[in-house]
Amino acid sequence: MSDATDWISAVSTALAMGFAGTAAVYAAKSWGSAKKQVQAAERQVEAAYEQVRIAEAATQRQEERAAAADERADRAENRELLQVQAAEERFIKAQLDARAPYVYLRTRDGYSGLAGITYNEEVLSPAPLIAALPKEASRLAFDPEARLHNYEPKDGTEIPSAEDFLFVVTITVDAVNVSDYPARINVIDIGEFDVLGDFRGNDIIVPQRGAKTVVLRRVISSAEIRASGTSAGIADFKGCVVYMKFWARDFSYSVRDELNLGVDLRFFAMDGQRIIVSRTPAFLINETADMGPARVYERIEAAKEQADASLANP
């Protein structure tokens, strides 16, 4: 009985071990299969991510190309707009030029008296380019009716160091209008000169195909001349060439031309404290004024500034 029981137990154990081995084999196969399935799933997920990245890159490239195309279109539109604006501006300037006055300034030494200029309601008397007034006649420097030709110095006239003089420099300026439109002349900068003539407000009005004459006058003291070599000196080049500025404009203030005139005041030389006077300066005074910078189209510039201000402060 015992032998039979042992045999049955042995057979049972062997069968159990067989079943267990078989189960282990199947479990191992199942694990390997599951692992492969997980790896395959991971590869599929990675492939999906790659497809997404490819799609995103393609979308970005398309967006960049679209942005570049938009930028090119904007540049082309802006370029076309600028071309249109430039053409319109050229057209407007051409119209303004066609109706703008053309004026030049012509200078002459002294004043002949023929222009009939009045100053303080008195007729301005003829005057030389330079007159030398001794102290006792100094009041005549400010008298429009004074006969300054009686005090015109000779070349090389010497003023002793102990004597005080006033020198009166007189220059005639003719504003000549060669256009069919009247002009306004604005005196912008004439240094220490006074301008005498027919003004309307602050403007010299020059009729079309006409001319208007004014006189520039400056009184210089012997003390100023003896200060030569200082900041107030007038016998040196730096302190004695006066550059004057005038504006020629139309009546609507649409255009403006700048006219520059140089006046040389070097009538004087120094010998110690003695002053030596010449009837003419070191260089002849300009016969005509030079044109300044390019013509300014005032209304166009004002419109541009207004447009810029509107863009800056919407």
Please give the average per-residue pLDDT across 126-148, as a whole number.
94
Tell me the percentage of the chain whose pLDDT exceeds 90: 39
The answer on 247 and 172 residing in a single domain is: yes
Kindly state whether residues 61 and 191 are assigned to the same domain. no
Indicate if 63 and 174 belong to the same structural domain.
no
Burial of residue 10 (CB within 10 Å: 0-12, 13-18, 19+) is: exposed
Given a cut of 80, whether residue 233 has pLDDT beyond it is no
pLDDT at residue 232 in the model: 46
pLDDT tier for residue 118 given thresholds of 50, 70 and 90: confident
- Exposed, middle or buried, 245 (CB in 10 Å: 0-12/13-18/19+)? middle
* Confidence band for 314, pLDDT divided at 50, 70 and 90: low
Spacing of C-alpha 203 from chain mean position: 25
Give the residue among 202, 228, 113, 221 at the shortest CA–CA distance from 164: 221
Interatomic CA distance for residues 249 and 205, integer angstroms? 10
Q: How far is 214 from 186, CA to CA, in rounded Å?
A: 12
pLDDT of residue 121: 83
Angle, CA 167 vertex, CA 215 and CA 279 arms, to 5°: 85
Residues 27 and 88 in one domain: yes
Same structural domain, 118 and 250: yes
Domain that includes residue 91, residue range:
1-98
- Residue 227 is predicted with a pLDDT of 79
The residue ranking higher by pLDDT, 74 or 42, is 74
Q: Are residues 50 and 140 in the same domain?
A: no
Instruction: Render pLDDT for 256-304 as a digit per residue (tens, 0 to 9).
Output: 999 998 888 888 888 888 888 988 886 666 677 788 888 999 989 888 8
Q: Are residues 92 and 114 in the same domain?
A: no
Average pLDDT over residues 162-177: 94
The pLDDT, as a whole number, for residue 231 is: 44
For residues 166 and 296, membership in a common domain is answered with: yes
pLDDT digits (tens, 9 = 90+) for 179-193: 999 999 999 998 889
Instruction: Judge whether 311 lies within some domain.
Output: no
Q: Are residues 18 and 125 in the same domain?
A: no
What's the domain count of the chain?
2
What integer best gives the mean pLDDT of the chain?
83
Residue 241 pLDDT exceeds 60: yes
Q: Residue 170 pairs with which residues in a beta bridge? A: 217
Asked whether residue 47 falls in the same domain as residue 112, the answer is no
Q: Is residue 313 part of a domain?
A: no
- Which of 74, 98, 122 finishes a domain? 98
Same domain, residue pair 166 and 143: yes
- What is residue 247's predicted lDDT score, i.e. its pLDDT? 95
What per-residue confidence (pLDDT) applies to 303?
Answer: 86
The least confident of 16-30, 215-229, 272-286 is 16-30
Both structure tokens of 92: 């407007």
Residue 312 resides in a domain: no
Provide, rounded to the nearest whole percent, the portion of the chain with pLDDT above 70.
82
**Whole-number pLDDT of residue 1:** 54
| pTM of the full structure | 0.71
- In a shared domain, residues 86 and 138: no
CA–CA separation, 166 and 138 (whole Å) = 6
d(CA 187, CA 245): 7
Q: Which of 48, 79, 98 is the last residue of a domain?
A: 98
